Amino acid sequence: MISGQIDRGVRGSSWHTKTIELQAPRNMMDLAIRAITSRPEHHWFGYYDKFQFDPTDRYVLAMGVGFEGRLPEANDKIAIGFIDIEDGDRWREIGTTTSWCWQQGCMLQWIPQSPNEVIWNVRGDAAYGSTIYNVETGQSRDLPHAIYTIAPDGRTAIGTDFRRIDHMRPGYGYAGIPDPNFDSLAPEDVGIYTVDLETGASELIVSIGEVAALPYRHGDLSEAKHYFNHLLFNTDGSRFIFLHRWRIGYGGFQTRMMTANADGSNLHVVDDYGKMSHFIWRDPETITAWSWQPSDENAFYVYKDQTDEVQVIAKNKMTLNGHNTYLSDTDWILNDCYPQGDRREQTLYLYHVPTDRRVDLGIFDSPPEYKGELRCDLHPRSSRSGKLVTIDSTHGGDGRQVYLVDVSEVLGE
């Protein structure tokens, strides 16, 4: 999620994981780290802001596929399943889908407030939808709309146009259905929509055209082509974030962070400097994000929604862009970084907000072929209790796999 030039990747060809000399992960705290998936398939979860663990911390969702090295094509199918980490990391497959990408998968996640329901996106003959699956009964039901993020009450989701995303930002949308608004700079008939997870009813609440028409103080957007990406409800479901992105021609994209009420009203520009990247809600009013501000340039910042208040955080501790989330008590931030240096090292760490203390958990090498939209970010996710962390990693020379890290010792539990 970096503002800049687009690496479109390649559809229709693939590479095999090279045999290269990789170091074992540098385990900075002597923690228990293990792979919970293995070949022949490549496994991953994708993004970092969804429930991968069930409420008991026992079952861990993941996806599996038999190839790497190229962007997905329309008929490439992945397996959906979960790992039982209390039964020898046993894999149980529960479904498949052709609606997926390397960076965010198929929006696979446990539905909030449900002990046994999982949701992921699927593709029908002419539209994207979603499937809800009950892991206890084995029953499933289909909804006519794809989802992006789910409100904390588990009743409502919001989504955006994955056809548009695939057209504008390959690697984040889904192959298979062309963008009907390909020639439109700012279509009025697509944008952000709600989905009732019980009935499947949907309503467009924010259009791309509406947001593109909002004044932009840093330039002229009349020739820009617009889309939405990265939607996330706040912690009580009253508001949500989305990134409004655009580019002119085939240049790099620019970004402004927006928030809105759950019904799409009361739009607010949180950050319009163009370089907003990874973010997370700390509470219903507070957002922590990597961005650029005149005060400290590139850094992590804390924003208060619906105000102009912003301040830098962990300037000397969280120095690189990463996929940040809060553990359940919000005293700890879980984070990582993009590959650094000749060894392309990705560092996994915790940052303790009250004491300004950083604890490096491990360093994981990323082979050089994992780049652009084919990269494998760690995308660290914490369990519901905060005691366990999962990452997607290629450091083992076994393709991308899911690894489990026990951080309870760091937390003093």
Distance CA 16, CA 7 (A): 20
What is the total count of domains within the chain? 1
The CATH number for 321's domain is 2.130.10.10
If one counts every other C-beta atom within 10 angstroms of the C-beta of residue 150, the result is 26
pLDDT at 20: 42
Comparing CA positions, the residue from 267, 289, 288, 285 lying closest to residue 276 is 289
Distance CA 399, CA 41 (A): 8
Reported confidence tier of residue 279, pLDDT bands at 50, 70, 90: very high
375-404 confidence digits (pLDDT tens) = 999 999 999 999 999 999 999 999 999 999
Its domain, for residue 368, covers: 26-406
302-355 confidence digits (pLDDT tens) = 999 999 999 999 999 999 999 999 999 899 999 999 999 999 999 999 999 999
Comparing CA positions, the residue from 360, 372, 405 lying closest to residue 387 is 405
Classify residue 16: in a domain, yes or no: no
Classify residue 21: in a domain, yes or no: no
Distance CA 134, CA 184 (A): 40
What is the CA angle 34-40-42, rounded to 5?
A: 65
Classify residue 5: in a domain, yes or no: no
Classify residue 122: in a domain, yes or no: yes
Strand partners, 335: 349
Classify residue 289: in a domain, yes or no: yes
Classify residue 18: in a domain, yes or no: no
Classify residue 389: in a domain, yes or no: yes
54-107 confidence digits (pLDDT tens) = 999 999 999 999 999 999 999 999 999 999 999 999 999 999 999 999 999 999
Classify residue 4: in a domain, yes or no: no
pTM: predicted TM-score of the whole model, two decimal places: 0.93
Mean model confidence pLDDT for the chain: 94
pLDDT at 268: 99
Comparing CA positions, the residue from 68, 82, 121, 70 lying closest to residue 98 is 121
